[in-house]
């Protein structure tokens, strides 16, 4: 073959290869422009709101002075959505049940706060019960029925208050339901 023909054939081959490469890139770009863009995570913070830095409290605990060997209800922000039932205090723990009375199908968050009082009726400490959503779901699946709207609780007197705490008050500072 003549060198001139070889040069022409190499040039044609290069042009063909270059054209094929350009077409492939154009098709790739076209496909990627039709592709669904990747989703970005939703922003879950709201301007001006700061997360809670401490446990929810019940200011009403400070104004109560329950008589020895009694347990009473402390006022809280959700009192119109539940009833406390079966309250008892034996010096070691306070027990009861929060019966949800609002139109709900499931308790999402519940905290029951107990205040413990000395023989003079002075508040000496607190402890809390926190509803465990995962445990409640496990019980619900085992029972095979709708969720129960009553949440039993037991709150032990903290060790450092045993012997000092002679009465209690109970309230609900956190309640989230459907």
Of 110, 69, 103, 106, nearest to 87 by C-alpha is 69
φ, ψ at 13 (rounded to 5°): -60, -40
137 in Cβ contact with 21 (< 8 Å): no
CATH assignment, 60-177: 2.60.40
Is the dihedral angle over the CA atoms 70, 54, 131, 173 positive or is it negative? positive
Adjacent-strand bridge partners of 98: 84, 151
**Could you tell me how many residues make up the chain?**
178
Each residue's pLDDT tens digit, 7-65? 444 454 554 555 554 545 555 554 444 444 444 444 455 566 555 556 789 999 999 99
| Domain coordinates in residue numbering, the chain | 1-31, 60-177
pLDDT attached to residue 148? 56
User: Which residues touch 85 (CB under 8 Å, ≥6 apart)?
Assistant: 96, 97, 98, 99, 150
User: Which residues touch 113 (CB under 8 Å, ≥6 apart)?
Assistant: 56, 57, 58, 61, 74, 76, 126, 127, 128, 170, 171, 172, 173
- Does 170 score more than 60 pLDDT? yes
Whether pTM exceeds 0.75: no
Confidence of residue 141 (pLDDT cuts 50, 70, 90): very low
């Amino acid at each position: 073959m003549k060198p001139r023909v070889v040069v022409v054939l190499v040039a044609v081959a290069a042009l063909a290869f270059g054209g094929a490469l350009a077409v492939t890139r154009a098709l790739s770009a076209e496909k990627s422009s039709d592709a669904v863009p990747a989703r970005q995570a939703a922003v879950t913070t709201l301007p001006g709101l700061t997360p809670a830095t401490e446990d929810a409290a019940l200011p009403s605990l400070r104004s109560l002075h329950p008589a020895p060997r009694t347990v009473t209800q402390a006022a809280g922000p959700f009192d119109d959505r539940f009833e406390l039932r079966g309250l008892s205090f034996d010096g070691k723990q306070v027990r009861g049940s929060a019966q949800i009375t609002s139109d709900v199908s499931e308790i999402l968050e519940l905290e029951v706060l107990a205040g413990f009082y000395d023989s003079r009726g002075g508040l000496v400490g607190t402890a809390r019960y926190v509803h465990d959503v995962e445990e409640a779901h496990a019980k619900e699946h085992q029972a095979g029925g709708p969720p129960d709207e009553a949440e039993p609780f037991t709150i032990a007197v903290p060790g450092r208050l045993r012997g000092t705490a002679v009465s209690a008050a109970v309230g609900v500072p956190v309640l989230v339901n459907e």
